[in-house]
Chain A
Amino acid sequence: MIGTYEIVSIVLSILVLVGIKLMSSPKTAVQGNRIGAMAMLAAVIVVLAYNGIIDVPLLWLAIFVGGVIGYIMAMRVKMIQMPQMVALLNGLGGGASALVALVEIFERYKQMTLFGRLTGQLALAVGAVTFSGSLIAAAKLDRRISQRPIILKNHGLISNAVLLIIILLIITASVANISGIGFIAIITAFLALAYGVLFAIRVGGADMPITISLLNSFSGLAGAICGFTIEDPLLVAVGAIVGASGLILTQIMCGAMNRSLVDILSGSQLNPGINKKEATPQEKVIDVEKTPVTAKKSPAKSPAEILKTAKKVVIVPGYGMAIAQAQSQVKALYDTLESQGKEVKFAIHPVAGRMPGHMNVLLAEVDVPYDKLCEMDAINPEFSETDVAIVVGACDVINPAANTAEGTPIYGMPVLKVEEAKNVIVCNLDTKPGYSGVKNSLYELPNVHLLLGNAADTVKELVESIKQ
């Protein structure tokens, strides 16, 4: 039962694991990724040789076309576009798995065992959901369609009905030996595509990190199930590893937003427009628009003066920094402060940005040393001994209301405790609430200075002012 191919599969799977293991440190990560790539290349060659299909020109043509497109896409994409790029690639992987399953069903259904039929239909469905869901997510992230959740009438009911029909079709096509199987498979595929769309359109911008992580897990799962159908242990193993990876990231993201996966999937708590009105009784908000927040407090010292005397500074970037493209200005701020002999660190919230770890990549791109990028749990105890915390385009992830405002979407969400710093400078566009719709109580505190406007400009001005 365990022949050459199985052994090779196990070896290559271990190689993939070693590659991922090396990705736990920035020092070895480049190497780890390349080991993963080499393992995949080896796997392709092994499969071609083992099946005696290495001389089929059609296959090479397809590999060539895909390789060129993939390479061009990867070289041209900007770091800021990484979330949509990952979503898109993810979708293509899912689509490929669905197509493989479809081909298998068309070609081999009659000879398949119950197991093969079941997994084939399942791979088709999961792959198709991944495909359409990821494309919608990518379009949202790329702002081709609205980032707001789009909710249809009876949205939950429709998706559940679609899901139920998919399940029934899968069972029917697996158990009964029916003749119109191709037709059923195509219907299953279309329903699964529809389900992916229904699932992804009601997810809003800031919930995207969770959605992408989940779809990432799905794409691995689709591959693994596909491996069951064609009885390929390598596909099963590697697909399972990717599935696990996506699942961990999903868990981390959910934890960091204090959301359960069920909430995200069912779309509950996902309508900030409604939540804002219904769920913020605790806030007793003075209408943000009417409060002359900037004029309200005129602290004794200007931000520049505070920064000049500061010894320890923590910079807190958020998605607003990415939108304003203020990374270089933030780097300039970092350099200036550092050159004045201050200790400067960055505090990165796990869900800052639009995908896990998004801020780290953007800051690494402008050459901020990675050892200055601190995770939330590591930096939170340090805020009390920090002289100045500088917030750049972050709102929900620093909102102290998360600890107190019961009933709001962000209640219970772990946040960066910037308010514990002696002084806080906020370089945000405005004082409107973040994605959650919950008013930021930080802005009201006496030790907080607001520099409102485009972060690229305000941070630049801040840098100029402390250079003098």
Chain B
Amino acid sequence: MKEMFLIIIFIVASLLGYRVIKEVPSLLHTPLMSGTNAISGVTILGSLVSTAYAVSSGSKFLGFIAIVLATINLVGGFVVTDRMLKMFKS
């Protein structure tokens, strides 16, 4: 059941995402890409939980690296997108 729910979420989110993103003009495609790229750092959620519950120190270490990488992705992506978007003036 849980699995079906996740699959449905996946499909619905893909379709909604597709519709919304299709509307973004090519003018803003670079910031769109860096912005969604930042959002793909969402994997941090997984890394936080896995790392906290990991038993072996090897797993903890890998998890630690995963959080660092995901956070760079998130913070770097959002900040750089912000910098870019602020340049667009009419």
Residues of A within 8 A of B (CB): 1-2, 6, 9, 13, 16-17, 19-21, 23-27, 29-30, 32-34, 36-37, 40, 43-44, 47-48, 51, 53, 56, 58-59, 61-63, 65-67, 69-71, 73-75, 77, 79, 82, 85-86, 89-90, 92-93, 95-97, 99-100, 102-104, 106-107, 113, 115, 212-213, 216, 219-220, 222-224, 226-249, 252, 348, 350, 355-358, 360-361, 364-365, 367, 369-371, 373, 375
Question: A90 with B67: in contact, given A36-B35, A71-B79, A241-B16 (CB under 8 Å)?
Answer: no
CB–CB B80/A85 < 8 A: yes
Residues of B within 8 A of A (CB): 1-3, 5-7, 9-18, 20-56, 58-60, 62-90
> Which residues of B are found within 8 Å of A75, using beta-carbon distances?
79, 83
CB–CB B85/A30 < 8 A: yes
Question: A33 with B85: in contact, given A66-B68, A103-B62, A233-B5 (CB under 8 Å)?
Answer: yes
CB–CB B84/A82 < 8 A: yes
CB–CB B71/A21 < 8 A: no
CB–CB A92/B58 < 8 A: no
Question: A69 with B72: in contact, given A17-B17, A235-B42 (CB under 8 Å)?
Answer: yes
Say which residue of B11, B23, B34, B69 sits within 8 Å of A82 (CB atoms): B34
CB–CB A23/B88 < 8 A: no
Q: Report the minimum CB–CB distance from B63 to chain A (whole Å).
A: 5
Question: A73 with B76: in contact, given A66-B67, A82-B34 (CB under 8 Å)?
Answer: yes
Question: A2 with B14: in contact, given A82-B30, A82-B84 (CB under 8 Å)?
Answer: no
> Which residues of B are found within 8 Å of A17, using beta-carbon distances?
16-17, 20
CB–CB B88/A29 < 8 A: yes
CB–CB B72/A92 < 8 A: yes
A228 to B13: give the CA distance in the assembly, Å: 14
Say which residue of A58, A59, A216, A373 sits within 8 Å of B36 (CB atoms): A216
Question: A99 with B33: in contact, given A230-B49, A360-B28 (CB under 8 Å)?
Answer: no
CB–CB A24/B23 < 8 A: yes
Closest to B83 in A: A74
A115 to B31: give the CA distance in the assembly, Å: 35
> Which residues of A are found within 8 Å of B87, using beta-carbon distances?
79, 361, 364-365, 367
CB–CB B43/A62 < 8 A: no
CB–CB B69/A96 < 8 A: yes
> Which residues of A are found within 8 Å of B62, using beta-carbon distances?
99, 102-103, 106
> Which residues of B are found within 8 Å of A40, using beta-carbon distances?
38-39, 41-42, 44, 74, 78
Q: Report the minimum CB–CB distance from A327 to chain B (whole Å).
A: 12
CB–CB B58/A106 < 8 A: yes
CB–CB A107/B54 < 8 A: yes
CB–CB B42/A43 < 8 A: yes
CB–CB B9/A100 < 8 A: no
A17 to B64: give the CA distance in the assembly, Å: 29
A322 to B75: give the CA distance in the assembly, Å: 26
CB–CB A26/B79 < 8 A: no
Q: Report the minimum CB–CB distance from B43 to chain A (whole Å).
A: 4
CB–CB B43/A222 < 8 A: yes
Q: Report the minimum CB–CB distance from B60 to chain A (whole Å).
A: 7
CB–CB B52/A53 < 8 A: yes
Instruction: Known A-B contacts: A36-B39, A67-B71, A220-B40. Give 4 more (CB < 8 A).
Output: A23-B31, A89-B34, A232-B49, A240-B13
CB–CB A21/B80 < 8 A: no
Question: A23 with B13: in contact, given A33-B85, A74-B79, A107-B55 (CB under 8 Å)?
Answer: no
> Which residues of B are found within 8 Å of A241, using beta-carbon distances?
13-14, 16-17, 21, 36, 39
